[in-house]
Amino acid sequence: MKISKPILAIIAAIVFFSCSTVPLTGRKQFLAVNDSEINQSAAASYQQLLSDPKTKVITGSADAQRVKRVGNQLAAAIQQYLSQNGYGDQYKFNWEFNLIQSNEINAWCMPGGKVAVYSGILPITQDDAGLATVMGHEIGHAIAKHSAERISQEYVAQGLGAAVGVASNTSNSAGLKIVNALYGTGSQLALLHYSRSQETEADRLGLTFMAMAGYNPNAAVGFWQRMSAKAGGNAPPEFLSTHPSDASRIREIQNRIPEAMKYYKGK
């Protein structure tokens, strides 16, 4: 049977780029994109958002300082873990944490460590541990390279014949089109929606990351209960739009707390 060139290219991409492993969870993943170029694209989108006249970045307030403090503590703990466990060379993050004035209940972390927390979520986080729950979860997406996975899936789905070449060169017009569509580079910011399995993995990573940074993982249960109560019977906030159901999420988090507590030493 004759195999077409596009299929051969995809097979080659899998052979060359599928050997990545997610820290802590040990999950093997298929990645067909270059980290540095994805990070650059994400950073461009992040700066575009911050410089948009419609975006109000809060600075100097107690809440803004809290976002930076908790974020930096998480980043320091995560980077230490990665370095000590052989992942240091795989994560060249240029961390940045900003609080954005918005009633939207949301937070996110783009590839490369670009984090935004919307002020609308702060009444639900309530304290540092609640904030660490949210930020740890979002950073978990970045550490697990979920965005790169989604982009890799797009390459395969679109049957790019030059999959291997595109993977290492996003200046390729087809590859650049995908990156721009997913991240909004050069246009309105567009954030990825992750799969439920990726959300569950981010929950697991986030619990451990907050523990590493000195925040009690048990606080995550309270946060997700408050988030569930906030959603009520109405449409969920953007932060919950693609997440697992409240009951299953909380149950899974409770099951993972003992794992995370191994890293918790308190403050």
Q: Which residues are catalytic?
A: 138
Nearest to 92 by CA among 35, 159, 171, 155: 35
Nearest-5° Cα angle at 167, 163 to 169: 115
- Note whether 195 and 208 are within 8 A (CB): no
Instruction: Say how many CA atoms lie within 13 Å of 229 toward its Cβ.
Output: 9
Nearest to 129 by CA among 66, 205, 175: 66
* Secondary structure (DSSP) of 41-110: HHHHHHHHHHHSTT--EE-SSHHHHHHHHHHHHHHHHHHHHHHHTT-GGG-----EEEEE--SS--EEEE
Which amino acid does the sequence have at 164?
V
What is the C-alpha to C-alpha distance for residues 189 and 181, in angstroms, rounded to an integer?
A: 9
- Note whether 237 and 105 are within 8 A (CB): yes
Task: Extract the tokens encoding 185.
Answer: 């580079």
